[in-house]
Chain A
Amino acid sequence: MKMTDTNATFRRSLHVALLCLTVFAFLGASDEGARFNRLGHRLMCVCSCNQILLECNHVGCTYSDRMRGELMAGLDRGENDDLTLQDFVQKYGPTVLAAPTGTGFNRVAWIMPFLALVLGLLTTIFIVRAWRKRPALAAPGGVLPVSGAELEHFRTQARKDTQI
């Protein structure tokens, strides 16, 4: 959802930033700091450590410091989020983004789980309905039902054996 409507995301992030700035300044994160943090968590370190950029603590990692510097510089230039991320994609290839984007085939990555949820839910509901309507099944294991006196006799026995 956050990926499919980047405009809304941007608006929302502006709101968040504004709120951060005015009301929650005591949390210690400035506007710029929060943006840096947020964008830094949407990027991967490309040193093949497979970690989020801001979480790469690879000793002597030659990439993460430089990339963090570039991110900072991008923010200083006043670029918006998309542009900043796009710069990284241009430079390091699409794998630098920590999650698939909301465009083209990448959208499939996001749609699939929700599609599976909907399909699964429909199937389950269908199964539940079908099972409720199923005609009474034959006694399992070929046990024949009993009736009359015999039924009452054994019914009483069962009742006696199973209080709680």
Chain B
Amino acid sequence: MSQIGSFALLLALALSTYSFLAGILALARPGPGSERLGETARRAGIATFAVVFLAAFILVISAFQDNFSIAYIFHHSNRDLPAPYKFATLWSGQEGSLPFWSLLLSAYGLVLRLRHKTDARLFAYASAIIAAVQIFFLLLLNFAAHPFALMQGELPADGAGLNPLLQYPEMVIHPPMLYLGYVGFTVPFAFALGALIMRYPGEKWIHITRRWTMVTWAFLTCGVFLGAHWAYSVLGWGGYWGWDPVENASLMPWLTGTAFLHSVMMQEKRGMLKMWNMWLIFATFWLAILGTFLTRSGIISSVHAFAQSSIGGWFKWFLVLTLVTFTFFFFKNKSHLRSEHKLESLISRESSFLFNNLLLLLACFTVLWGTWFPLISEYVQGNKVTVGPPFYNNVAIPVALLLLLLTAVGPLLAWRKTSVESLKRNFMWPALGAIAVGILMMVFGVRPWKDISYFYALMAAMLAALVGLTVTSEFIRGGRVIARHTGQNLLASMVHLFHRNTRRYGGYIVHFGVAVVIIGILGTPFNQDKEKEMGFGDKMTIGPYTLVCESYTQDDNPNYSNEWAIISVFRGDRKIETMYPERRFYKASQQPQTLPRIRSSYKEDLYLTYEGVNEATGRPIIKAHLNPLVMWIWVGVLIMIGGTVLALIPNAAPVRVTAPARIQAAPVGAGD
């Protein structure tokens, strides 16, 4: 089996190399036979998918067959590992996740190459660029991190097991989502670079990749937040975002990708910001590669150091190579990227996009800076320092608040020019609403002067309200215009409005989702926690809840042994739930893990962890967290994803107004 896998990887490398070389040759020397050469290049690209798929398939089959002669399977699986996690071995370690990257890239490449008739030449360029990226990953797989490397010496009886932190349902979907996002940005990048190299007339490549970018963005969003949810439900420290270097690595391409999604509209509609967009999509692609590198190389220590090795050098060279290649073509064909229009007014959608981009990039820079500062510090002053949550919270929160303000104001601005009066008029009601929210919060005990975090919470709540209200008012205002023309009622008009421009109004729904996520995050300053040793019948109160320890016990199964407590949760005198915080000890990997239990409601999460046992008394130590509003984060993400899906729906035809005769009656050439 493993020989077939190794062969498949080698063949895939040969195929993608052929696809790349033949592809550029056919494009560089048009003439008799170049079409046929180009077609073989395209087909080699398609075949790459089949062959990489075969390799990945063999890896998964080997995991299911407990083929521990393959070192990778030995290190990431064991006989008693539940089936879904065996499937997930494909991405749980570095040698596996790289074929997975490669598989996803070739799958995206497959779709692209099958649809080449849309614009054969542009697609051929994109296909060659994707093949080039593919070559890098296949080189890594064949020569640096071979997934089918065999165990040396005697064959082990059982595998070393999967890291227990990864034995959680979300771990089966979080990495694929994130990777779909990371890899997906290769496609718009390939089209952008292709269009630049061939000096493609017009902005059709944006149109072609528009949905692609949005889907990719949705995957990345999903991946980032699934990661946060995983951290919340598995790591057991009661939080969801620790500004860990690898979390940061997934956030950076998300930030630049979000910036690109916005600013590319300026290019599509107005032919502006062409150079900027080129850099932005390159940065997103580059940061996605960097993210993979950070996750997989272990250069910066992190909770994600599941996989560490020496592939760093390869990645560094690849990052440098892509940068040099891109820079070369950028300067070579810069004249192709000249702007077509000037900026008409400071108060316009265009300038709001500029500031949006500035802030998103600033956030990205801050994250990048914080992630690398320990290394810089070591270089400059000889000692590492920690750049942890206090740093990011102090810097990122103000930036996030400013962004939220822009999110609220942006939709009120028209393209090109907006009058100050209309802005004032349209902004007044949402602003009053936001102020009302602020006053209400202060009435309910949020004292912004007491602590900076309360101030932030108050601002975030007001701005989130502002976003929600401006989005609503945009829907109503637009709906009224439609209603005037069609005579439908307001609701039907709003649906109609949405169908006219799904991207815009779907985007507004995404904005609304962001506001809801912010509401969830702003609960953080109000978190409480308590820890107590709890014997039979012992009580602990936290917030409105009283916890009573009913019992504690232990158990054993082939995969792990575990201890847990049975805790009754009371609210007042009423028992509302029984919770079972647990601790496991995984046998194969010899690692312990805490399993928090969470009771979610729209108001707050009650989060219990089994911290351990007091050796002296034999009684368990239970830690309780009370985290307000956390559920809204997940709800908000669902809204964001829903909004993106809605934005993918094709637009309906524009409104046909019921008076064409009058216009047609205008005589041709009436103006002279």
Contacts and interface: CB of A to CB of B under 8 A. Distances in A.
Chains A, B in direct contact (C-beta < 8 Å): yes
Interface of A: 1-2, 16, 19, 24, 28, 41-42, 44, 48-52, 55-57, 59-60, 93-101, 104-106, 109-110, 112-114, 116-117, 120-121, 124, 127-128, 131-132, 134, 136-137, 140-141, 148-149, 151-153, 155-156, 159-160, 162-164
A112 B388 contact: no
B358 A57 contact: no
B29 interface: no
B340 interface: yes
A98 B388 CA distance: 5
A120 B361 contact: yes
Interface stretch (B90-98, B148-156, B664-672): B664-672
Given A99-B388, A128-B346, A137-B339, A116 B657 contact: no
B370 A152 contact: no
A45 B154 CA distance: 40
B532 interface: no
Most chain B Cβ neighbours within 10 Å, of A1, A50, A95:
A50
Given A100-B386, A114-B395, 20 more contacts: A41-B389, A49-B303, A52-B389, A57-B237, A57-B594, A59-B583, A60-B612, A94-B384, A99-B386, A113-B395, A113-B399, A117-B399, A132-B344, A132-B346, A136-B342, A137-B341, A149-B672, A163-B655, A164-B481, A164-B485
Given A95-B386, A163-B656, A59 B668 contact: no
A43 B346 CA distance: 45
Interchain residue pairs A-B with the least CB separation, the first 10: A152-B671, A140-B340, A98-B388, A131-B343, A99-B390, A99-B391, A55-B237, A149-B669, A59-B592, A163-B657
A97 B668 CA distance: 77
Contacts of A55: 237-239, 242
Interface residues of B, number: 75
Most chain B Cβ neighbours within 10 Å, of A44, A97, A131:
A131
B592 to A, nearest CB: 4
Interface in B443-492: 450-452, 481, 485
Contacts of B387: 99-100, 109
Given A50-B244, A50-B303, A163-B656, A153 B362 contact: no
A148 B654 contact: no
Given A151-B671, A153-B668, A59 B612 contact: yes
Interface in B421-442: none
Contacts of A2: 394, 452
Nearest to A135: B342
Contacts of A128: 343, 346, 351, 354
26 contacts: A2-B394, A50-B301, A51-B242, A55-B239, A59-B612, A98-B386, A98-B389, A100-B377, A101-B385, A109-B370, A109-B385, A109-B391, A113-B399, A114-B395, A116-B366, A120-B362, A121-B358, A124-B354, A132-B345, A137-B339, A137-B340, A140-B271, A152-B671, A152-B672, A159-B663, A164-B485
B114 to A, nearest CB: 30
A141 B201 contact: yes
Contacts of A113: 362, 365-366, 369, 395, 399
Given A131-B342, A137-B340, A100 B389 contact: no
A94 B383 contact: yes
Contacts of A160: 660, 663-664
A159 B271 CA distance: 22
Interface string B297-337: 00001110000000000000000000000000000000000
Contacts of A56: 237
Interface in B197-212: 201-202
Contacts of A16: 450-451
Given A120-B361, A131-B343, A164 B655 contact: yes
A28 B543 CA distance: 9
Contact of B385 (A19, A57, A94, A112): A94
B361 A57 contact: no
Contact of A152 (B362, B451, B583, B670): B670
